[in-house]
Amino acid sequence: MSGNMNLTLKVWRQKNKDDRGKFETYPVQHISPDMSFLEMFDVLNERLINEGKDPVAFDHDCREGICGMCSMFINGRPHGPLQGVTTCQLHMRSFKNGDTIVVEPWRASAFPVIKDLAVDRSAFDRIISAGGFISVNTGNAQDANSIPIPKDDADAAFAAATCIGCGACVAACKNASAMLFVSAKVSQFALLPQGQAERQERVLNMVAQMDAEGFGSCTNTGACEAECPKGISLSNIARMNRDYIGAQLSVQKA
């Protein structure tokens, strides 16, 4: 079953990280409004392969908005025109027949392009390795109900923890800053009693790693929060700033 939408795609093509890259224009026909944006790319790729051309490389996996792998910058916005939605959950009914759609990769020096629309986001993993955890070895734990956690704190920690690590915050930010991502993890643990033991070390180490990766600094434009598919709040960034400054001023080390 095919649909009736005809669109023009302008897609960034780049063979590898050293290639300069350029836009290619592809008309796509008979697109159904029920297709997801990535399914439209499946259709395009199927055609490119049949024509003997190289299909467009893009990251994707779960296609239900939770794994955080899909990462397209669509018409000037990460994950496209809708709010609170990842690219895989964006459907073609959000576009009009005849539209031209410009698709680019996430752009940041910390996210080098691997190929076409796929970028390397391992910087995020390194930031987590620097401190995005509670140091508790398997078997160390006490009974789960031994520390009551006020529901509001648990809910706030959960809200921060829903970050899917897609990098839309970095992509949206004019400074390519990763503050929303980092602060979401810092906040999750800062809000929970289990996270207190390493609270200062954590924020210091994670911020240091974030800076080492070459992300820009936060100028509080709020673009990250507006584009975050999971609605992670800017208040997390404030909390991280507070914790960072407090930790620098008070940590018991020379």
Partner 1 sequence: MTTSPKLDAKIPDGQLEQKWTKYRSTVPLVNPANKRNLEIIIVGSGLAGASAAASLAELGYKVKVFCFQDSARRAHSIAAQGGINAAKNYQNDGDSTYRLFYDTIKGGDYRAREANVYRLAEVSANIIDQCVAQGVPFAREYGGMLDNRSFGGTQVKRTFYAAGQTGQQLLLGAYSALQRQVGLGQVEMLTRHEMLDIVNIDGKCRGIIARDAVTGKLERHFGHAVLLCSGGYGNVFFLSTNAMGSNVTAAWKAHKKGAFFGNPCFTQIHPTCIPVSGDHQSKLTLMSESLRNDGRIWVPKRKEDAEAIRTGKLNPNDLKEEDRDYYLERRYPAFGNLVPRDVASRAAKERCDAGFGVNRTGEAVYLDFAFNMKYKYGKKEATKKGIQNPTEEQLTELGKAVVKEQYGNLFDMYQQITGVNPYENPMMIYPAVHYTMGGLWVDYNLMTTVPGLYALGEANFSDHGANRLGASALMQGLADGYFVIPYTIGAYLSNEIRTKAIDTNHEAFEAAEKSVRERLEKLKNINGTKTVDYFHKRLGKIMWDQCGMARNEQGLKQAIADIQALRADFWKDVRVPGGLNEFNPELEKAGRVADFLELGELMCRDALNRNESCGGHFREEFQTEEGEALRDDENFGYVAAWEMTGDANWELHREDLKYENIKIAQRSYK
Partner 2 sequence: MSWLTRMFSSTIGQKLIVALTGLFLCTFLVVHMTGNLQLFKDDHGMSFNMYSVFMTTNPLIKTVSYILYFSILFHAFKGLHLAYKNMKARPVGYAVVNGKANSHWTSRYMGILGTIILVFIVVHMNDFWAEYKFGHIPYVQYTENLESGEITAKPYADEAGNPKSIANKAEETIVSINGVDHKITITKDLYAEVAETFKNPLLVALYLISMFAIGFHLYHGFQSGFQTLGLNHPRYNPAIQFLSTWVFAIIIPAGFAAMPLYFLLIK
Choose the contact partner of 22 out of partner 1, partner 2, none; CB within 5 to 8 A by kind: none
Instruction: Find the angle CA(204)-CA(183)-CA(136) to the nearest 5 degrees.
Output: 65
Whose tokens are 């970028």? That residue is 119
Distances (CA, A) of 111 to 142, 177, 204, 235: 39, 11, 22, 25
Give the footprint of partner 2 on residues 134-193 (CB under 8 A).
172, 174-177
Choose the contact partner of 121 out of partner 1, partner 2, none; CB within 5 to 8 A by kind: partner 1
Strand ranges for the chain from DSSP E: 5-13, 22-31, 73-74, 77-78, 100-104, 113-115, 118-119
Interface stretch with partner 1, choices 99-107, 126-134, 175-183, 243-251 (CB under 8 A): 126-134
Residue selected from 7, 11, 68, 74 as contacting partner 1 according to rule CB under 8 A = 68
Closest CB to partner 2 among 14 and 89? 14
For 91, the 3-state DSSP assignment is strand
Sign of CA dihedral 168, 172, 178, 180: negative
Give the footprint of partner 1 on residues 158-217 (CB under 8 A).
158, 161-162, 164-165, 188-189, 192, 194-195
Please report whether residue 60 would count as binding partner 1 according to CB under 8 A: yes
Nearest alpha-carbon partner for 107 in 165, 173, 10, 13 = 173
Residues near partner 2 (CB under 8 A) are: 10, 12, 23, 73, 75-77, 81, 102, 104, 107-110, 172, 174-177, 207-208, 210-211, 214-223, 226-227, 234-235, 237-246, 248, 251, 253-254
